[in-house]
Amino acid sequence: MTAKKKKAEDGGDAEGGNANLGQVRELLFGTQVRDFEKRFAKLEGRMEKEIEKTRSDLKKRLESLDMFVKQETTSLSESIRSEQSERTQALKDAAKELSKTAAALEKKHARLEDRLTKSDRTLNQLVLDQITSVRDDLSDKATELENLVEQEAADLRDSKADRVVLGSMLQEMALRITDSLDLPDLD
């Protein structure tokens, strides 16, 4: 026999042996295998139901969580809008108040400036009047002094002794001091 024939016979025997082995297995384990297959099928069915139930439960929870997040986001958004609106209104009110205060301060400043201008004019007028009064007084005093000086000068001119008269008076005095002159007694 050749090697090829031997292999073919061994293969043929192996195929026939395998078929016999399968029959023996079927007889020995067939009921158990079918039982296991039924159990696996039931278990697989239960697992698929549990998976579907878990999937459905998870989907409900995710939807619930999504709804909660949306509600919270909406609530926070409304709260932020409300607070922003309140702050905007508060800022507008503060701006109005500040504007009113600025206007009041401007009016007060204008009134004070007017009063200052009036006071300045009054003070300037008083100083000018005082200067005019002092100038007039000084002018009057200067004129008075000038007149007085002129009068005194005139008096001095009128009452001044003539040089000749003054010289003879001084000579007479000198002679009296020396007792050399006999003058008549005026008694």
Question: How high is the pLDDT of residue 32?
Answer: 82
Give the torsion sign (CA, 36, 38, 44, 46): negative
Domain assignment present for residue 185? The answer is no
Count of domains for the chain: 1
Domain assignment present for residue 183? The answer is no
Q: Give the pTM.
A: 0.38
Question: How high is the pLDDT of residue 17?
Answer: 72
Provide the residue range defining the domain that includes 107.
Answer: 3-178
How long, in residues, is the chain? 187
Domain assignment present for residue 115? The answer is yes
Measured between alpha carbons, how far is 4 from 10 in angstroms, rounded to an integer? 10
Question: How high is the pLDDT of residue 165?
Answer: 78
Question: How high is the pLDDT of residue 166?
Answer: 77
pLDDT tens, residue order, the chain (187 aa): 454 444 444 545 556 677 888 788 777 777 887 888 888 999 999 999 999 999 999 999 999 999 999 999 999 999 999 999 999 999 999 999 999 999 999 999 999 999 999 998 998 999 999 999 988 988 888 898 888 888 887 777 766 667 777 788 888 888 888 876 555 555 5
Domain assignment present for residue 104? The answer is yes
Domain assignment present for residue 17? The answer is yes
Cβ atoms of 172 and 181 closer than 8 Å: yes
Q: Which residues of 19-56 are buried (b: 16+ CB within 10 A; e: fewer)?
A: eeeeeeeeeeeeeeeeeeeeeeeeeeeeeeeeeeeeee
Domain assignment present for residue 15? The answer is yes
Domain assignment present for residue 117? The answer is yes
Cβ atoms of 97 and 89 closer than 8 Å: no
38 membership: H or E segment, kind and range: helix 3-159
